[in-house]
Amino acid sequence: MESINKFNFCPECGSKNIITKEGTHWVCPDCGYDLYNNDAAAVGILLVVNGKLLVFSRTKDPQKGMLGLPGGFVNKGESLEEACIRECNEEIGITPPPFEYLCSFPNTYPFKTLVYSTCDAFFYSEYKGTEEELLSSIKTVDGEAENCKLVPLATFDTSQIAFDSMRKAVKILRNKLNI
């Protein structure tokens, strides 16, 4: 398999002989440098009100302009649940209502010159207020989201969603809710 992520030089000794294995493992035969880059943990929340799913337009690459869900990478020392709450606050300015684990899927996240392998964990939450209350409480904070809207969970076209893992999570939620 051709590697996507490559080093041209060993980060330890500067040798040009560094070997890339599977795009996630680098070995230098000159100094013995040995680095593994395992999957990064990421989270997303599927926030539903009255059968409608909250989505937004992504303002940054990767997948700028496609639909996204509140979520992102898990920080060091943070649980999946803590990351879900933090990301929701950062991206749309709200603390999500109580949520439950839904599913997880592997994913890739291309960023600049690297393609990160991730394991995306998804959570589900049912907002108990009205659609208007939810939408009026949203404040896009960190510049990653715009045009927050509610789409019918049962019928909207998931091909508009940025990542395959998110599309799969929507399918799991539809099955869970018998939609």
pLDDT in tens, 66-118: 999 999 999 999 999 999 999 999 999 999 999 999 999 999 888 887 788 89
Residue 2 has what pLDDT? 41
Parts of the chain belonging to CATH 2.20.25: 1-38
Parts of the chain belonging to CATH 3.90.79.10: 42-176
The answer to whether domain 1-38 has CATH 2.60.40 is: no
pLDDT at 3 over 80: no
Tell me the pTM.
0.86
Architecture of the domain spanning 42-176: Alpha-Beta Complex (3.90)
pLDDT of 149-162, one tens digit each? Answer: 999 999 999 999 99
Residue 1 has what pLDDT? 33
- How many CB atoms are located within 10 Å of the residue 141 CB? 13
CA 117, CA 119: separation in Å to the nearest integer?
7
CA 105, CA 172: separation in Å to the nearest integer?
11
Place of tokens 């964990």: 121
